[in-house]
Structure 1
Amino acid sequence: MRTITVVTTAGRPDDISMLLAQKACDELGVGFEPRKKRSVVKISEALNANVIVAGKNRYEYYPKGANVPFFFHPNSAAFRLKRIDRGEHDPLLEACQLFEGDSFLDCTLGIGSDAMVAAFVVGKTGAVVGLETDPNVAFIVKNGMGTYDTSELPLTSCMREIKVVNTEALEFLKEQPSDSFDVVYMDPMFEEVIEESNNFEALRAAGSHLSLSEQWVAEAYRVAKKRVVLKAHYKSRLFEDFGFKREVRLTSKFHYGVREKKL
C-alpha cells in the first residue's frame, strides 16, 4: 500500500488553522483529513500516511512512523550569524570562500541553516538557491522561511532572500549552464548519527537520504564557477572517493571538502 500525505489541523482548530490547512492542501496537491480528536499517530496508521499538521503558529510534518515532527526553525543559523557579525570565523564560510554578490547553490537544503549563513554573506546583490527533494520538507521550509517571525536581524532578511526549489539535485544541475553558480554545496545525510543533534534527528526521519554519485559531483563541478564544497561526517570516505580536499577539524564530527574549479 502506497504511503500518501494528508493535511490535518491541531486538536482544536480555529479559522486560521483551517486556512493554513487549505493552503497546504492546495500547494502540495493533497487531501484534507479532519482531526476528529484523533492523535496524529492514529491518523497516520489508519491512512498509511505522512501527516502535515496546520497549527496556529507553524506547520509540523510527521513522516509515516516518525516519533517527532519536523518543523521549521532557524536552528543553528541564529547564533552562527551573531558570531559572524562579531567577526568570528565560520567553517562553512571558510570552506566556501563566499563574498558579497556571489551566487550559492545548496543542493541539499534540509532545514536551511547553511543557506541562511550563505545568504547573509552574499547579501541582496547575491543569490542563494536551495534544493529539496522531498516536497513536504520543501513546503515546510519554504513556508517557514517566508513567515517565521523573529526580531533577530539579519536573520529575517536572510531567510526571505533564499529561493527554495522542490527538485532532485542532479536533475536541476543538468539544466543549468556551466559556471552558473559561484559555489555549489552539498551535504548528503550523514552515514553516522550525530547523537547531540536533536533537530537533525527530525530531519533524518523527514528528509530524503541521498547518495553522492560520480555524475552528481561531475555536474556540480561543471555548474560551479569557483568551487564545489562537500560536508560529511568525519569518518566518511566521500572526500577521498570523489576527489575532495578534506579540511580536517579536530574537534568537530563533520568535515568540509573542497574541489577548486580550475580556471
Structure 2
Amino acid sequence: MHEIITIVTTAGRPDELSMALAAFACKELGAPFEARNKRSIRKMSQELQAHVIVAGKHRYDYYAYGAQEPFFFHPNSAAFRLKRVARGEREPFLEAAQLQQGDTVLDCTLGLAADAMLAAYAVGATGHVVGLEANANVAFIVKQGMESYDTSELPLTACMRQIEVVQKEAVHYLQALPDQSFDVVYMDPMFEETIEEANNFQALRQAGEHMTLTNQWVMEAKRVARKRVVLKAYFRSEWFAHYHFQQYKRATAKFHYGVLELGST
C-alpha cells in the first residue's frame, strides 16, 4: 500500500488571499501544492492517494483520506462552557483539574482544544497551557484556527490565543521533560466506546491519531505532574480502576473524569 501523503489546494475559484494561505500551509507542513483544475476534493484525494488541506477565504479545511466530512477548527463547546463558568455554574473538567491562577497545564490530547481553553481561562495570564497534537495536519488546523478565528467574544478570544500548540506524540514529549514540569497533566484519549451523541467529533475521530492509554503514558504523566493527573474516559472504562484514578461519576454523562492526586496545592 502506498503511503498517504498530504497535499494543499484551494477552493474552486481561489483569490489572492486563499493562494497566500495555501502557500503558507505548504511551507508549514512541507506539503506540495496541487491546483484544483475543476476537480472535486474527493476526486483529488482518490487520484493522488492523499490527505487534502483546502485553503479557503476564511479557514482551512482538512479532508483526511477516505473521510466523508472535513475537519476544521471551531470553538465548539468551549464558547458556551466558558459562559457557564463566567456565570458561576459548575464545570466538571475544572472541578476535576482544580486549577489555580498561575498554574501550568499540559493537555496531552489537544483535539479541538475545548478543555485547553477552559484551562487557559482558569490559570489566567500568569499561567501557561501547552496542547499536544500527534497528527501534524490536525495540529496545523487547530493552531491556525485559534490564532485567526474571528470572534469578539471574551474571554474566548484571549483563551484561544494563550494556548501553545505543539505537534508531538504525548509519551515522547513527556519523556523529554524534567520531573514535575507541569502542575497538571491532562489526558483525553479517543474513547474506547463511540458516543453516538458526539457527532461533532466524528470528523476529528477520522482525522486524528487514535491513542490508547498505556502504563508508560500514565507513569510519565505522574512523573511530570506536580499536583495531579486528570483523565477523561468513557464512564464504564476500566482505566479508572486499573490506574487507580479517583473517578468523578456523573449520572447523566457518558464520560467521566478521573484524578490522581500527587501533591499539595
In structure 2, the partner of 1:191 is: 192
Q: Please show how residues 123-202 of structure 1 align to structure 2 within 5 Å.
A: 123-202=124-203
Displacement of 1:187 after TM fit?
Answer: 0.1
In structure 1, the partner of 2:82 is: 81
In structure 1, the partner of 2:56 is: 55
Q: Please show how residues 31-70 of structure 1 align to structure 2 within 5 Å.
A: 31-70=32-71
Amino acid at match of 1:92: F
Displacement of 1:198 after TM fit?
Answer: 2.2
Contact 2:99 2:123 in 1 (8 A): yes
Amino acid at match of 1:4: I
Displacement of 1:262 after TM fit?
Answer: 4.4
Amino acid at match of 2:46: E
Indicate the SS of the match to 1:255: strand
Per-residue CA distance 1:59-114 (angstroms, 9 max, x = gap)? 00000000000000000000000000011110000000001110110000001000
Indicate the SS of the match to 1:153: coil
User: Residues of 1 paired with 2:57 and 2:200: CA distance?
Assistant: 21
Instruction: Report percent identity of matched pairs.
Output: 64
User: Residues of 1 paired with 2:196 and 2:214: CA distance?
Assistant: 26
Indicate the SS of the match to 2:197: coil
Question: Any stretches of 5+ residues in structure 1 without a counterpart?
Answer: none
Q: Does residue 237 of structure 1 match 2:238?
A: yes
Greater CA drift, 230-239 or 121-130? 230-239
Amino acid at match of 2:10: T
Per-residue CA distance 1:180-210 (angstroms, 9 max, x = gap)? 1110000000111111222210100011000
Displacement of 1:238 after TM fit?
Answer: 1.2
TM-score, scaled to structure 2: 0.98
User: Residues of 2 paired with 1:152 and 1:196: CA distance?
Assistant: 26
Hey, which bits of structure 1, 4+ residues long, moved more than 6 A? none
Contact 2:226 2:263 in 1 (8 A): no
Indicate the SS of the match to 2:260: strand
User: Residues of 2 paired with 1:199 and 1:13: CA distance?
Assistant: 28
User: Residues of 2 paired with 1:262 and 1:56: CA distance?
Assistant: 48
Question: Any stretches of 5+ residues in structure 2 without a counterpart?
Answer: none
User: Residues of 2 paired with 1:242 and 1:18: CA distance?
Assistant: 49
Contact 2:8 2:22 in 1 (8 A): yes
User: Residues of 2 paired with 1:262 and 1:24: CA distance?
Assistant: 42
Number of equivalent positions: 263
User: Residues of 2 paired with 1:7 and 1:191: CA distance?
Assistant: 32
User: Residues of 2 paired with 1:261 and 1:153: CA distance?
Assistant: 33
Indicate the SS of the match to 2:196: coil
